[in-house]
Amino acid sequence: MELIDRAAGFDERIAVADRSGTFSYAQLLTGSARAAARLLAGSADLTGERVAFMVEPSFDYVRIQWGIWRAGGVAVPLCLTHPAPELEYVLDTVRPSIAITSDRYADLLGPLARSREIEMLAVEDVDAEPVILPKVDPRRPAMILFTSGTTGRPKGVVITNANIEAQIASLVEAWEWSAEDRILLTLPLHHIHGIVNVIACALWSGARCDMLPGFDAAEVVDRLSNGGLTLYMAVPTIYHRLIGDLDTASAEDRARFREGVSALRLMVSGSAALPVPVLERWRELSGHTLLERYGMTEIGMGLSNPYRGDRVPGSVGMPLPQVEVRLVGDDGESAAEGVPGEIQVRGPTVFVEYWERPEETAEAFTDDGWFRTGDTAVVEDGRYRILGRTSVDILKTGGEKVSALEIEELLLSHPAVSEVAVVGVDDPEWGQRVVAMVVVPTPMESDELRDWLKTRLAPHKVPKEIHFADSLPRNPMGKTIKPEVVEMVSSPR
Ligand code: AMP
């Protein structure tokens, strides 16, 4: 993989800094070669075996990710906030041969892996004397990331080595990455945003990535205030929280923040729509006009405001290098300027398939190879503006994609629930807030239902509110009318 081959040229430069120290590119190369040797355990090539890993953002995360790639395996990063049933779903779907965990998640992941006869390794044990590593064809799968896509239950998005390289090359060119860059990572590492846009682009460039184990607004404000960084990338919910923290800070701390952040050359927002008031308030507080971009697990990044030149609030700019984008109207024809259409994308950054879902893969592409994103946009003055998603059942909350159908299915399996509708309600912090409306024949507390959900669903999928109703609004076909549900749960009770 070129990403890894290039690292030798950066040698003693710092690649990663985490809570335990700083690590050079040379250490990353050695560490990942030793990790690969352990994973290979005598075989010549993992030949597409999946390796799941549950490791905090850290040098070890990258060492293991690169180790899997170098051994010819497919990396499956697990979400650190998933409760057991979500992890089981991923394990049962991709059937990894090995699962790796840091201490913190050993009690959770260990029993799940052992009962499936998956070999369990602790992070520190992924280490062995170096061996000759296989030559991995770039067209081979490198990673599987889970997303709800444009419909239904989470699916594994299969991303090849070549996809990752094209995604990196596109962003490095567009956002002018260099070895002098230093980026702060505060994003989760089971999602393309942190994995490719932050870490992979940094390491491709010989830059330095400073990693925090998670997001804490006060800590991030402090790190940004201290200077030394050149780049920061986050989702709108994070900027909203940082604004909240700064709004209550002293004038002195705000001035220190502004001074520290002035050294950055670029601040990026993406993964969900950036509300214009957030962009404006951030500009007042930091002096930076956030660069908003649009992307998706299946395509990497697709559209971006310019690095140089005007960034238009509310717009996601123009196609990135290597990415072909078109808008297709309801009539199946290319939409003219000013006419809304579905965003379709083609090019080397686009994934190959949903893991073991040939039908959904086929449906996701047009006959001539364009990926249908399920997002609607319009071109105005040559720039794209996102209007929304074609499916009301796909929500975005805090930058994470959520399938309403998945939550509905689970709620319906609760013995007390007879009907349910899950919707996204516009929210200044979350973008969309997950809200459920349920019909329960026998009265019960919403906290009881939420507690039940929390043991089964990732935290961001658990509805922030559960409303009880006698019945749901339905059309003559019996289908719930979701816009009406949104209105009912949004109006003051
Ligand atoms: P994911 O695969 O989790 O990255 O989610 C991708 C989805 O996030 C897209 O299909 C869009 O619906 C949404 N999205 C990403 N970036 C933006 C943006 N800048 N504005 C609006 N929606 C966005």
Per-position DSSP letters for 67-90, written without gaps between them = HHHHTT-EEEEPPTT--HHHHHHH
How far apart CA 126 and CA 37 sit, in angstroms, is: 8
Q: How many CB atoms lie within 10 A of CB 363?
A: 14
Q: At what angle do helices 276-286 and 251-261 cross, to 10 degrees?
A: 90
The β-bridge partners of 394 are 403
> At 29, is the pLDDT very low, low, confident or very high (cuts 50, 70, 90)?
very high
User: Closest ligand 1 atom to the C-alpha of 303?
Assistant: 19
Q: How many CB atoms lie within 10 A of CB 178?
A: 11
User: Closest ligand 1 atom to the C-alpha of 297?
Assistant: 2
Closest CA to 354 of 156, 185, 168: 156
Mutate to test the pocket of ligand 1, among 167, 271, 395 (most ligand atoms within 8 A of CB): 271
pLDDT digits (tens, 9 = 90+) for 189-229: 999 999 999 999 999 999 999 999 889 999 999 999 999 99
pLDDT, mean of residues 30-49? 98
pLDDT, mean of residues 153-163? 95
pLDDT digits (tens, 9 = 90+) for 293-327: 999 999 999 999 999 999 999 999 999 999 999 99
How far apart CA 47 and CA 203 sit, in angstroms, is: 25
Residue nearest to atom 21 of ligand 1 (CA): 273
How far apart CA 432 and CA 418 sit, in angstroms, is: 25
Distances (CA, A) of 475 to 172, 421, 480, 483: 49, 13, 6, 12
Sorted by where each starts, the structural domains of the chain and their CATH numbers stand as 2-136 (3.40.50.980), 394-489 (3.30.300.30)
Distance of CA 273 from the midpoint of ligand 1 (Å): 7
Contacts of 52 (CB under 8 A, 6+ apart): 76, 77, 78, 90, 91, 94, 96, 98, 99, 100, 113, 118
Provide the residue count of the chain: 493
Distance of CA 295 from the midpoint of ligand 1 (Å): 6
Tell whether the model's pLDDT for residue 493 goes beyond 60.
no
**Mean pLDDT computed over every residue of the chain:** 96
> At 492, is the pLDDT very low, low, confident or very high (cuts 50, 70, 90)?
low
Phi, psi of 291 (to 5 degrees): -90, 115
pLDDT at 224: 98
Amino acid of residue 172: V
User: Closest ligand 1 atom to the C-alpha of 293?
Assistant: 19
Contacts of 262 (CB under 8 A, 6+ apart): 287
pLDDT at 392: 87
pLDDT digits (tens, 9 = 90+) for 115-149: 999 999 999 999 999 999 999 999 999 999 999 87
pLDDT digits (tens, 9 = 90+) for 62-98: 999 999 999 999 999 999 999 999 999 999 999 999 9
User: Closest ligand 1 atom to the C-alpha of 150?
Assistant: 10
E-assigned strands of 19-140? 21-24, 50-54, 74-77, 98-101, 119-122
pLDDT digits (tens, 9 = 90+) for 380-419: 999 999 999 888 899 999 999 999 999 999 999 999 999 9
pLDDT, mean of residues 256-277? 96
Distance of CA 87 from the midpoint of ligand 1 (Å): 23
pLDDT at 330: 85
How far apart CA 169 and CA 163 sit, in angstroms, is: 10
Pocket residues: Cβ below 6 A from ligand 1: 147, 192, 270-273, 292, 294-297, 316, 373, 375, 386, 389, 396, 401
User: Closest ligand 1 atom to the C-alpha of 316?
Assistant: 19
Query: Do 335 and 329 contact (CB within 8 A), yes or no?
Result: yes
Sheet with 21-24, strands from edge to edge, namely 21-24, 14-18, 208-211, 182-185, 231-234, 266-269, 291-296, 300-304, 318-319
Phi, psi of 202 (to 5 degrees): -60, -45
pLDDT digits (tens, 9 = 90+) for 335-361: 999 999 999 999 999 999 999 999 999
pLDDT digits (tens, 9 = 90+) for 447-467: 999 999 999 999 999 999 999
pLDDT at 66: 98
pTM of structure: 0.94
The β-bridge partners of 475 are none
Query: Do 395 and 432 contact (CB within 8 A), yes or no?
Result: yes
